[in-house]
Structure 1
Amino acid sequence: MILFQNEIFFFLMIKYAFKRGKMRKINNIIFKGKEGNIFIFSLFLTTLLIISILITYFYDTKLANKITSLVVSNLFVGRVPSLSLGYASQLPHITVIGVNIVTEIILVTSLYPLFIFSLKGILKIKPLEDFFFQVQEKKKQHQDKFEKYGKIGLFVFVFIPFWMTGPIVGAIIGYLIGLKHYTIMAIVFISTTIAITLWGFFLNEIIEFLLAFDTRYVWIILLLIVVTTLILKIKNKLYKREK
């Protein structure tokens, strides 16, 4: 499961980024360098997603509400509940998988450059500092494996749905082991797309099987998934505070 994507909205990150630095300095950062280009790409995707949802509201309010719920559930709970919600709402593959892919790409392309800015001391983003520290510790634990397997290791790390793995963590670790920015983005995008697509087809089969019996079973299971995920997240936060 992806740890951080479920906790903080992308817009909150931008807010803190701009509060912590001077406008002129931030403008120079954003419009110069490859990490700046990646950040601009995230802003472009975010704008495109918002506009698409707003246009959809004019033609089909119910569909727009469902798409919005997919984005929100991915941000707060993760891809599995979001995909399950999409299929339970009987949305087509292309919508469910597409929205989740775009959402996670936005998260990666926004948090990855913000991490680099924070690491270089250009911006200090307080809500992200603990997460960045955890990622660096994760990298230290598996230093030998990452250096040995390189790009393949990064691909697998992003692909497998284990704790503290996923596109955001993988992208940051890719930078820490010395891979190039665009190489990291390419690996993360491909791995994320394949992973979400496979998860989508798998979950769709389960949802369709349950719908054949009773729609209530689908929503009960979805509720259990969300509640379990939230409980695990809360327990993890409490454990970190005590530690």
Structure 2
Amino acid sequence: MIKSNMKNIFKLILKEQLGTILILCLLLTLILVCAVLLTYLFDAKLANKITSLVISNIFVGRVPSLSLGYAYNLPNNIVIPVNIITELILVTLIYPLFIFSFKGILKIKILEDFFSKINDKKHQHQESFKKYGKIGLFIFVFIPFWMTGPIVGAIIGYLIGLKHYVTIFIVFVATCFAISLWGLFLNEIVSMMISFDKKIIWITLLIFVVIILINKIRKLFSKRNKK
């Protein structure tokens, strides 16, 4: 449940950089939605595949989404941009929401645990961020480790005192590089697996997704039991 002071939010949207970031989020969302809808007019099967990539990225992550795209035999110029836009939409949405929550303008109950983990992550790597600054943030977003990535990186950028536009720019560049390299790597792996038997990649992808979902469900039940 979100409790908000609408007057303060509108002021932020109109006057502060966070407003521009939210507008960017709406623009990217509009571009993605329009692209999918236009694709439905010409090729419904392709549009369904693109939609599944977006959903997969949001709920499971970039690696399963990229792998799914290549399992569909989609080219790099579809798989990589769709994942980049999806992750940037998430960043430009959650980053302002975190700051609104941090400043007490919004109360976002569903994201409180996530924000708490990010704060712990910031303290864990505080010395590295102080030492390497923007380069450290770029590397943090770029490397594919647990609890790293564009959303976490953007929020940590704010917590260590970087300006909003600087943070979003670093996250944008690092995300583009990371997804592009992941895409090229996974494309080669998937192509090699398909050359033996196409069923192998679907079985591997299914097992990978099931493991991730089981892990998320297990953590959810663990949190509820603790409460």
Asked if these proteins are the same fold (TM beyond 0.5), I'd say: yes
Corresponding residue of 2:91: 108
Query: Are residue 186 (structure 1) and residue 174 (structure 2) matched?
Result: no
SS in 2 for 1:20: strand
Deviation, structure 1 residue 22: 4.2
- Tell whether the 8 Å contact from 2:154 to 2:168 is kept in structure 1 after alignment: yes
Q: Give deviations 1:188-242, integer Å, cap 9, x for gaps.
A: 1111111101110111111111111111111001101101111222233344445
Please name the residue that 1:169 is paired with. Answer: 152
Matches of 1:160 and 1:24, distance apart in 2 = 39
Matched, 1:57 2:37: no
How much is the aligned-residue C-alpha RMSD, in angstroms? 1.3
Q: 1:130 aligns with which of 72, 89, 113?
A: 113
- Matching residue of 1:43: 26
> 1:88: which partner in 2?
71
Task: Give the number of aligned pairs.
Answer: 226
Could you list the runs of 5+ residues in structure 2 that have no partner in the other structure? Answer: none
Runs of 4+ with deviation above 6 angstroms: none
Identity across the alignment (%) = 62
1:164 partner SS: coil
- Structure 1 CA distance for aligned equivalents of residues 54 and 143 of structure 2: 21
- 1:208 paired to 2:191: yes
SS at match of 1:179: coil
Deviations 1:36-61 (Å, cap 9, x if unpaired)? 11111101111111111111111110
Q: TM-score, normalised by structure 1?
A: 0.89
TM-score relative to the length of structure 2: 0.95
Secondary structure of 1:161 counterpart: coil
What is the one-letter code of the residue matched to 1:151? K
Local SS of the residue matching 1:165: coil
Task: Deviation per CA, 1:88-125: give whole Å up to 9, x if none.
Answer: 00001010000000000000011001111110111111
Alignment pair present for 1:220 and 2:207: no
User: In structure 2, which of residues 53, 69, 84 is the aligned counterpart of residue 70 of structure 1?
Assistant: 53
Looking at structure 2, the residues matched to 187 and 196 of structure 1 have their Cα atoms a distance apart, in angstroms, of: 14
In structure 1, list runs of 5 or more residues that go unmatched. Answer: 1-15
